[in-house]
Amino acid sequence: MSFWAEKRYIDPRTDRIKLNVLRNDADPLPKRHRTFKSFKASFGNTNYYEYEIAGCFIVVDLKYAFRHFNQNTYNEMRSNINGTLLPTLLDPILIIRDTYENQSVITFYKTFKTQNDLYHIVMFKAYKQENGKYYFKTIFNVDDNLGKVKKVIKALDMRTIYFKYTEGNGS
């Protein structure tokens, strides 16, 4: 599947990301949730959102997730992208399996754009627990580090769980 991602998003002559294709595939950046009540309502007013995609069972603790947009490892204000979590889960462009700090993780990748044509690339990580489920850990904007995006796009086929535009799947 990653073969198809690389074919779609990496220029074979220059080995650069085809930003024009990513822009075309981008969804409009959703409005941010100003309150936890609004954020929780977007997930169906539950405390833990559970979802299965491509054989992976994902769990999101909504209180933790909402807080994480303002209080995170790098103390970055990410509340402007808190509306991206659900669409990233439900309609990712790419999902890959990886390891981070000796833990099994999956990374969801999706692009969004603003009305001003400022393009945001958002990633989501979920860590696998002993029960086999993946739990939400972080989501962040990687516009300033396209090397991370390239690494996700060029992931080995055996690590690629899902690619939205696999031939015969909307390509």
* 101-112 tens-digit pLDDT: 888 889 899 988
How many domains does the chain fold into?
1
Q: Is the pLDDT of residue 99 over 50?
A: yes
Report if residue 169 sits inside a domain: no
Distance CA 138, CA 142 (A): 12
Decide: 135 and 107 in contact? Cβ < 8 Å: no
Domain of residue 92, residue span: 2-162
Q: Are 66 and 49 in contact (CB under 8 A)?
A: no
- pTM of the model as a whole: 0.86
CA atoms within 13 A on the CB side of 169: 13
- The lowest-confidence range among 30-34, 93-97, 144-148, 167-171 is 167-171
Q: Tell me how far apart the alpha carbons of residues 30 and 69 are, in angstroms, rounded to a whole number.
A: 15
What pLDDT was estimated at residue 171?
47
Q: How far apart are CA 66 and CA 161, in angstroms?
A: 26
Asked whether residue 78 carries a pLDDT value surpassing 60, the answer given is: yes
**Structural domain includes residue 99:** yes
Q: By three-state DSSP, how is residue 101 classified?
A: coil
Distance (Å, whole) CA 85 – CA 62: 10
What tokens were used for 141?
């904007």
The residue that leads in pLDDT, 70 or 34, is: 34
Within a domain: 171: no
Q: Are 86 and 125 in contact (CB under 8 A)?
A: no
Question: Is 20 contained in some domain?
Answer: yes
**Averaged pLDDT of the chain:** 86
67: its two tokens: 């807080």
Share of the chain above pLDDT 90, in %: 43
Residue 167 lies in a domain: no
Q: Which residue type does 65 have?
A: A
Answer yes or no: is 168 within a domain: no
- Identify the residue with better confidence: 39 or 77: 39
**104 within some domain:** yes
**Considering the domain boundaries, does residue 170 fall inside one?**
no
For the segment 59-81, the average pLDDT, to the nearest whole number, is 80
> Which has the higher per-residue pLDDT, 72 or 90?
90
